[in-house]
Structure 1
């Protein structure tokens, strides 16, 4: 509303009105401050009140168009709503209202909306991706996904709360800029605007209501029956009516948003907080292990057991079963609620199962779910590191490096020393793929010795490095070595470096680069494994050993579907070379198609949208016309050329854009437009 009002210009005059629960039910409650000059008996005459308000509004408008900006119209009485609507119908004013629940407004307002006489916009919480855009605009630079998750968890996608929280942390120095990225330090300030918000929300509360709110601020959430045993039931009911208390997870109640809860908890005096905890500890009638919370705990245990089984299958190369089990866990979490099924712990474990199974696209899709969610969920290790690692393994180097630089800045700021070797190794591999050898050596050196930036980091502040992160670190270091850049963390001395998925990925890369014996070893190692990744390695090994373009095309298609875009590109490129040598035109067209599709995925600059500006205006006109379905004859007639000349130009354009023809060009433009 504030944004709309600010953009109206000088031709409008704004009068702000607000419904309040404390005046609800009283005649003309939303207009009392305007009607204070009238004698009380006049309020019983609606016609007189309407005439008086027309005069008042005309004077306040001062010749401009009057806009009535109404907050909380559900708390306006029927008489106020009727008068406002009559003024709008008569053209005396425009009405702009914000309502949490339109059905709770007066019948007159609801009927007016139902008749189609008003325009309605339904506002939803920002998703994590949109919150990231908002924070980067406010901060004036890129932000880490850990900062996004922390803000999103507290604001639940409310842009006003997100902005308020970020500004306060920037002012307090609890959000810092490191290596060009704004990062989360772990400290939080609840002074300033956040303290003012707590005061505004609680200033009108009675002592009993304030105590009930403090109980929830200190505890986070409680079962309703337990809350009623330590707080006044009437006070709790009033807080629910005022929407200060809402339903929480697993049959609990909580304050309406985590930001209010945290800020209020920080402002509760220590003595009062200790007294609340003591009272809760003395309540013996609440028996843990029963009711909705116990049911949620049982679901979490079942989900954890299923994920452990999937992880065990993935380590043994039974990737078909492991991936199917992981998909089943994800579907069950969607049906039952992710938080009730284990929250970030569950999603983190599933992410690693998909990585182990070679299902990079499914791992990336899981991260995309977090980007589209309103909850601020972060996987173990951080979403920047997880996204950067997946993108690097798939060969999408420039995107990977963007995420990994944010991750490194975040880890150096918050002291997550145990994850720096993986972040540096993944960044090194991304640099190798971008032909930045000096950058790769720099990151590999930092993976072993973080230098001055990492000297003050305390590894003891975190748990010991998990086998999963260590295996990924070695995997990426080995991939660098296969491509000619050595260094970084060496193999573990305890034999923990026996990483089957990593070994197969490295062997596949070595085989594609012509390392003697690598293809044969790849085939032998993949034998006994199951799933799409195992089939990919077997197809690749067989095709490279026998120099079969058909097998290489099959392997490239499978690699593309799994998200291994660099492997798909290199396999398809080999298929193109073999097909040309064997004069197999049909196979050559298929190989070129998958080669082009993989190439476009490797770097942002390879996309059709990014390469279109490289064309001349004439070529761009031809390309867009062809993508729109215009025939060569029609294009030729419009340009006063022959159809044959148009086809010649289109052939060159398709080569530049790395597409096989009109249909693929159209598909690429549509898909890239959807992802903008």
Structure 2
């Protein structure tokens, strides 16, 4: 499908991260051994880390690896390409061999090792990173997802202040609008900007896929002077997969929590515990599926992200939605 005024670039520009980039660069060049960029899925940690490494590539020898859940079961899985055949099968010998391979620099330049999603590395790979710091053999640039468990060796890097931990937050509204305008070549009109913000809340990954999806579907149009979004989004395809991945597997009890909030948001916490299992609510809070907003003396439960509600409402039958609304109303109602 061809469209006029197509998206400017496949890799979106880095907007609104000047301060984070400055602090991350200072951490790499300072007395500590590097930086850990932490944040929720989709806020732009990976993009920021790549930009950081690009700015430092003239001075440093850069190594880059991305951890995955599937490779976590393999010892040294994230560093497989740096395990020499001569390392044998002894784990400690393999760790030392990988440390030497990563820190080797043909031009005798300092080395930076970047690992995306470092919370997913196996224990031996975590030991490699710890050894790189202990030996002062390389600087580190790591990304981790906030709230996710990580190997002790990784957590110890920032807890013991060996590296600096920098929180990467979602974009602010103004930054989100500027990013959309830059990508589309025209500023979004006020209703479009408002809708995009209400749905994505500064999550760059969600914003990118929503814009590209709606552009491809012909609902997001670029006109002289502005970009206009018509119609309603259908959360499917890649965007739906991304939302599913961020939410994770939902047990029936967890699904009931999310769906109850999705149909009646915001819900008073005292009302919600009369409708759902309290342990499931605690787990939903811990996983970021829902969140608590303290308004005065009241605790209101909202979804962890607006798109969770979009996808759950889209996939739930009208009859179930009506039943859930009725249960919430019978238990005390929603907040006006």
Identify the match of residue 97 of structure 1 among 139, 142, 159: 142
User: Are the counterparts in 1 of residues 254 and 284 from structure 2 also a CA contact under 8 Å?
Assistant: yes
Going from structure 1 to structure 2, the CA distance change for 1:49 and 1:242 (only over 3 Å counts) comes to: farther
Q: Deviations over 1:255-290 (max 9, x none)?
A: 21112222332232333323322433443xx377xx
Identify the match of residue 199 of structure 1 among 244, 250, 253: 244
What is the alpha-carbon distance in structure 2 between the residues aligned to residue 213 and residue 146 of structure 1? Answer: 27
Return the offset for 1:139.
Answer: 1.0
Return the offset for 1:63.
Answer: 7.5
Q: Match for residue 67 of structure 1?
A: 113
Q: Match for residue 132 of structure 2?
A: 87
Q: Match for residue 67 of structure 2?
A: 17
Structure 2: tracts of 5 or more residues without a match: 1-44, 78-89
SS of residue paired to 1:187: coil
Identify the match of residue 233 of structure 1 among 254, 278, 283: 278
Q: Note the aligned Cα RMSD (angstroms).
A: 4.0
Identify the match of residue 145 of structure 1 among 190, 193, 197: 190
Identify the match of residue 34 of structure 1 among 75, 78, 81: 75
Return the offset for 1:90.
Answer: 2.4
Q: Match for residue 659 of structure 1?
A: none
User: Are the counterparts in 1 of residues 291 and 303 from structure 2 also a CA contact under 8 Å?
Assistant: yes
What is the alpha-carbon distance in structure 2 between the residues aligned to residue 81 and residue 68 of structure 1? Answer: 13
SS of residue paired to 1:253: strand
SS of residue paired to 2:222: strand
Residues 401-416 of structure 1 correspond to what in structure 2 (within 5 A)?
none
Q: Deviations over 1:458-482 (max 9, x none)?
A: xxxxxxxxxxxxxxxxxxxxxxxxx
What is the alpha-carbon distance in structure 1 between the residues aligned to residue 261 and residue 168 of structure 2? Answer: 28
User: Are the counterparts in 2 of residues 68 and 93 from structure 1 also a CA contact under 8 Å?
Assistant: no
Structure 1: tracts of 5 or more residues without a match: 21-29, 37-47, 298-676
Q: Match for residue 52 of structure 1?
A: 94
Q: Match for residue 302 of structure 2?
A: 254
Return the offset for 1:53.
Answer: 2.8
What is the alpha-carbon distance in structure 1 between the residues aligned to residue 147 and residue 242 of structure 2? Answer: 25
What is the alpha-carbon distance in structure 2 between the residues aligned to residue 145 and residue 54 of structure 1? Answer: 57
Return the offset for 1:79.
Answer: 8.3
What is the alpha-carbon distance in structure 1 between the residues aligned to residue 137 and residue 192 of structure 2? Answer: 47
User: Are the counterparts in 1 of residues 75 and 125 from structure 2 also a CA contact under 8 Å?
Assistant: no
Return the offset for 1:223.
Answer: 2.0
What is the alpha-carbon distance in structure 1 between the residues aligned to residue 206 and residue 264 of structure 2? Answer: 22
Higher helix content, 1 or 2: 1
Going from structure 1 to structure 2, the CA distance change for 1:59 and 1:143 (only over 3 Å counts) comes to: same
What is the alpha-carbon distance in structure 2 between the residues aligned to residue 264 and residue 102 of structure 1? Answer: 23
Q: Match for residue 46 of structure 2?
A: 2
What is the alpha-carbon distance in structure 1 between the residues aligned to residue 327 and residue 185 of structure 2? Answer: 47
Q: Match for residue 266 of structure 1?
A: 314
Going from structure 1 to structure 2, the CA distance change for 1:92 and 1:270 (only over 3 Å counts) comes to: farther
Q: Match for residue 223 of structure 2?
A: 178
What is the alpha-carbon distance in structure 2 between the residues aligned to residue 155 and residue 138 of structure 1? Answer: 16
Going from structure 1 to structure 2, the CA distance change for 1:106 and 1:91 (only over 3 Å counts) comes to: same
Q: Deviations over 1:404-423 (max 9, x none)?
A: xxxxxxxxxxxxxxxxxxxx
SS of residue paired to 1:154: helix
User: Are the counterparts in 1 of residues 291 and 302 from structure 2 also a CA contact under 8 Å?
Assistant: yes
User: Are the counterparts in 1 of residues 219 and 229 from structure 2 also a CA contact under 8 Å?
Assistant: yes
Which structure is larger by alpha-carbon Rg, 1 or 2? 1
Return the offset for 1:249.
Answer: 6.1
Higher relative contact order (CA 8 A, sep 6+): 2
What is the alpha-carbon distance in structure 2 between the residues aligned to residue 217 and residue 49 of structure 1? Answer: 48
User: Are the counterparts in 2 of residues 31 and 80 from structure 1 also a CA contact under 8 Å?
Assistant: no
User: Are the counterparts in 1 of residues 264 and 328 from structure 2 also a CA contact under 8 Å?
Assistant: no
User: Are the counterparts in 2 of residues 17 and 68 from structure 1 also a CA contact under 8 Å?
Assistant: no
Q: Match for residue 131 of structure 1?
A: 176
Residues 617-628 of structure 1 correspond to what in structure 2 (within 5 A)?
none
Higher strand content, 1 or 2: 2
